[in-house]
Amino acid sequence: MAGLGAPLLGLEKKSLREQALSALRTAITSGELEPGRHLVETELSEMLQISRGTLREALRQLEQEGLLSAGPRGRLSVRHLDEKEIRDIYAVRAALESLAARTLCELPDRQHVTESLHKAIDAMTEATNGSLEERIESDLEFHRTLCRLTGNETLLHSWESLEGSIRMSIMFAGLEKGVRNMSVDRHKDIVGAIDTGDATLARKTILEHMDTAAANLVA
């Protein structure tokens, strides 16, 4: 009867590897591990209190997410983004999300879609007076929802693979620049466009949103 506190819902006990993954992702996208920083496996494993083997599995994943770059002898360092790379990341992001918007327009029951998106917007509105981190979080949640609602698992997976790079872009440009893109109204426009069911309009709206977002970051 004991020991079943957490594992009831989907909140199962995460493996050490997953914990390390989350911890490192947060450390990197928060700037605690500054870009260019050289990562030493022994150091990290001691910090996180896990073995090198377990750590290395997490590092491979971060490497593939684009948060780490590999040097000459397998040396890993935190990826450094310049302005061109930020624009490139946002170009790919725009391609993915415009596909999402287009797909949502062609969905049979847009009722549930609209509902979920409005819920996400509400969360953003609520976060307006919160911390910068909270606002960014709710914004990303909105866009992640956009991809999830399409029902295209591959699309969602691709977007999530890019999420780390997106976070780095925002962090890199500076959070104060990043929040310029958190306008609730602009996001309402996106939902509105999807509501009309006009795929061309929805795509255009997303592309414009991404364009200005990228411009705001590198400006």
Q: Enumerate binding residues for DNA (CB under 7 A).
A: 15-17, 39-43, 49-54, 56, 72-76
Decide if residue 153 touches a second copy (CB under 8 A).
Answer: yes
CB of 78 to a second copy, least distance (A): 16
Compute the residue count for the chain. 219
Q: How far apart are CA 219 and CA 83, in angstroms?
A: 9
Q: How far apart are CA 9 and CA 200, in angstroms?
A: 40
Q: How far apart are CA 78 and CA 65, in angstroms?
A: 12
Q: How far apart are CA 193 and CA 84, in angstroms?
A: 29
Pick one of 152, 183, 212, 216: the residue that binds a second copy (CB under 8 A): 152
Closer by beta carbon to DNA, 61 or else 138:
61
Q: Which residues in 47-76 contact a second copy (CB under 8 A)?
A: 53, 56-57, 60-61, 64-66, 74
The amino acid at residue 76 is L
Closer by beta carbon to DNA, 41 or else 141:
41
Decide if residue 175 touches a second copy (CB under 8 A).
Answer: no
**Cα separation values, 130 from 152, 179, 207, Å:** 32, 12, 27
Closer by beta carbon to DNA, 76 or else 173:
76
Q: Applying CB under 8 A, what is the total number of residues that bind a second copy?
A: 30
CA count, 13 A, side-chain hemisphere, 17? 9
Residues engaged in binding a second copy (CB under 8 A):
15, 53, 56-57, 60-61, 64-66, 74, 85, 88-89, 91-92, 94-96, 98-99, 103, 152-155, 157-158, 161-162, 165
